[in-house]
């Protein structure tokens, strides 16, 4: 967050903002900044607005529920895009390679000259194998390696100021949290609930996909970039 908030930006834009946590943290660190979060999921936008209200930031933060492609008329000197490159590519259900180049080109157009972008996206952190790709798009070319992604970032006109990758331990925590929603549902419902077997199956499928599949292969890279 220090990269985006120091020096303090005037406008912050979060593409694919989810619950708006990162945007709100930047606004907390930069009291003069205004921010806008965009996400296609209305449930996430509602949650983001609630969080902004709870933190007293609703007067400086706006959240819009719309496809990201419709939000490209407003530029900012600080932009966030974490795991949302699919906004500018084919639908996820088409199981096509992630179009990093299209995303980076669009993001470059959103960042004011000299502005900053925090960009995070999935990568292959190890050579993909069938057990790893099967629960995903089922193809080796779905993601890039971190080195190949760095080349695309530079080709899009960004300067790489810093970069990092999520550790396997951080992935373990993330995946455990994701599966926890199934656990909470099962704890709140009787074993003979009509949907209980399906929820148990979803839990096991997700556990197997990760622990027996893409753990240590699917990674996440984060870049601090200057336009």
C-alpha distances in Å from residue 158, one per residue of 52, 105, 153, 154, 168: 31, 10, 6, 5, 28
Contacts of 197 (CB under 8 A, 6+ apart): none
**pLDDT digit string (tens) for 25-69?**
999 999 999 999 999 999 999 999 999 999 999 999 999 987 656
DSSP state of 183: H
pLDDT per residue over 102-137, tens digit each? Answer: 999 999 999 999 999 999 999 999 999 999 999 999
Q: How confident is the model at residue 72 (pLDDT cuts 50, 70, 90)?
A: low
Residue 156 · residue 120 · CB < 8 Å: no
Which of these, 20, 93, 102, lies nearest to 61 by C-alpha position? 20
pTM beyond 0.85: yes
Question: Per-domain residue ranges for the chain?
Answer: 2-167+216-226, 170-211
Mean pLDDT of all residues in 72-94: 90
Measuring CA to CA, which residue among 31, 120, 36, 110 is closest to residue 77?
A: 110
**Looking at the domain that runs over 2-167+216-226, which CATH code has it been given?**
3.40.50.150
b/e per residue 144-182 (b: at least 16 CB within 10 A): bebeebbeebeebebeeeebeebeeeebeeebeeebeeb
- The whole-angstrom separation of Cα 17 and Cα 84 is 9
Whether 125 and 113 have beta carbons less than 8 Å apart is answered as no
Angle at the Cα of 157 from the Cα atoms of 98 and 118, rounded to 5 degrees: 65
């Amino acid at each position: 967050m220090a990269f985006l908030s120091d020096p303090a930006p005037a406008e912050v834009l979060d593409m694919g903002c989810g619950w708006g946590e990162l945007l709100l943290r930047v606004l907390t660190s930069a009291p003069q900044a205004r921010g806008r979060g965009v996400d296609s999921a209305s449930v996430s936008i509602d949650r983001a607005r609630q969080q902004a209200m709870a933190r007293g930031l609703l007067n400086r933060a706006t959240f819009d529920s719309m496809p990201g492609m419709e939000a490209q008329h407003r530029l900012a000197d600080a932009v966030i895009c974490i795991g949302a490159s699919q906004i500018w590519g084919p639908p996820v259900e088409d199981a096509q390679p992630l179009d990093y180049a299209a995303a980076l080109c669009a993001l470059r157009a959103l960042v004011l000259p000299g502005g900053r972008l925090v960009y995070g996206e999935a990568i292959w952190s190890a050579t993909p194998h069938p057990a790893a790709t099967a629960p995903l798009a089922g193809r080796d070319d779905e993601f890039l390696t971190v080195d190949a992604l760095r080349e695309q970032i530079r080709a899009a006109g960004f300067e790489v100021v810093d970069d990092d990758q999520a550790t396997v331990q951080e992935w373990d925590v993330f995946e455990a949290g994701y599966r926890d929603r199934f656990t909470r549902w099962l704890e709140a419902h009787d074993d003979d609930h009509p949907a209980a077997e399906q929820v148990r199956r979803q839990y096991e499928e997700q556990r197997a996909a990760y622990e027996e599949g893409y753990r240590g292969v699917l990674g996440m890279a984060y870049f601090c970039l200057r336009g």
